[in-house]
Amino acid sequence: MHETTRISRAVAALAFLLAPALSHAADNASTGAPVASIRSAPAQSGASRLDDYKDPDLWGRIRSGYAIPDLDNALVTRNTQWYVSRPDYLARTAGRASLYLYHVVSELEKRGMPTELALLPVIESAFNPQALSTANASGLWQFVPGTGKDFNLKQNMFKDERRGVLASTDAALTYLQRLYTMFGDWQLALAAYNWGEGNVQRAIKRNQALGKPTDFDSLSDLMPAETRNYVPKLQAVKNIIANPGQYGISLPNIENSPYFTQVDKTSDIDVAIAAQLAEMSVDEFKALNPQFKKPVITGEETKILLPKQNAEKFHINLSQWGRALSTWTTHKITGAKESIATLASKFHTTPEVIRQANNIPAQSRLKTGSTILVPKTSASTGDIAESVMDSAVVSFEADHRNRTSNKYSGTSRFKPRNGHTHKR
């Protein structure tokens, strides 16, 4: 790929990443767009696909691996019309996807899974790794905290791997494979991914007891609206990707080559310094590394993602750096006398810096036992210990309200709110 093309792609994708996502309103969308007919193709083995595939266009690679039986009903038509009537939304989503899609497709092929599953984040998050639902589902694949823990997605004060591209994709594909093994049907597996396997199993048993079919279409009347539209939405996106010209859609070119590479880090490093060494803006860096929640990246085995040429720059600049890579450490609050103002004075910074680094609202005070991020006062201060990362909790309360508090903990579980149906 020419360097100018790569840079243009990165800048465009970053702009799309930062653009606000439109809310999905497919349930109320009007009908009218034709639905393309796509013949399912068997999934090919990952090894041969990865070694032999020559299509320069990633969209073509995805089309060739479609393997989920097609669905053709009124909801597919309605959802197809919803997307087709919003070309700007599709363009923003495709722009964000250009950073991550090659990796997702490659991982699907390694597992012999249908490649249209690479389009599922269009439905889940519009390919925004920072997306957060009302049920506290997060990331490209929208895992809720509890299910994220079930699939070993680390969530603590410093990182949330539900938002990490590599970890969340691996977890999502593992979960989808498990569901397919359970139901033997990709449409039911997708319904279970959205609604929960227990709910799908109960719906199947209910129809079986009544002597009715148990395919997705036959069970859809028992599903909540979100799940009833879930597979039709994916089918709608499949249809558009299969034949964009039929719908008057112009897909941006996504080259069939890796966008990023993995870089090992051996010590704590500030996000700003990592971006500087890679010769990227902080926003560009965060687009590939959205799991890091603090201004410092911790953990000896942590990897960062960078575009290939930026990774080369990173290594060259790192070898010439000669300064501390991290300017942050942690401090545990031992008593009420440690106010944010006194801490700022102790660590030679300002209250605003401490509040911003730890997401502490104004007019709040820290509670005893909290572990917070503070600037290092000595170059001899070592890396943040793994045990601290896993157990750190920030608790604070309003200065002028009794018993009003807010707590952030790497071990807390959040419960879905507002009756959201996601079970991940």
Is the confidence at residue 15, as pLDDT, over 90?
no
- Given a contact cutoff of 8 angstroms between Cβ atoms, the answer to whether 19 and 92 are in contact is yes
* N-to-C CA span, the chain: 37
Task: Count Cβ atoms below 10 Å from residue 155 Cβ, excluding itself.
Answer: 24
Kindly give the pairing relationship between strand 405-409 and strand 260-264: unpaired
- Residue 117: DSSP 8-state: G
Residues 369 and 245: their CA atoms lie apart, in Å, by 60
Report residue 379's pLDDT band, with 50, 70 and 90 as the boundaries.
low
How far out from the chain centre does Cα 104 lie? 12
Residues 52 and 228: their CA atoms lie apart, in Å, by 38
Q: Say what angle helices 165-183 and 197-209 make with each other, to 10 degrees.
A: 20
Q: Say what angle helices 87-110 and 165-183 make with each other, to 10 degrees.
A: 70
- The 10s digit of each residue's pLDDT in 122-166 is 999 999 999 999 999 999 999 999 999 999 999 999 999 999 999
- The 10s digit of each residue's pLDDT in 162-173 is 999 999 999 999
- Residue 51: DSSP 8-state: H
User: What pLDDT, on a 0 to 100 scale, did the predictor assign at position 40?
Assistant: 34
User: What pLDDT, on a 0 to 100 scale, did the predictor assign at position 380?
Assistant: 64
Which residues are catalytically annotated?
124
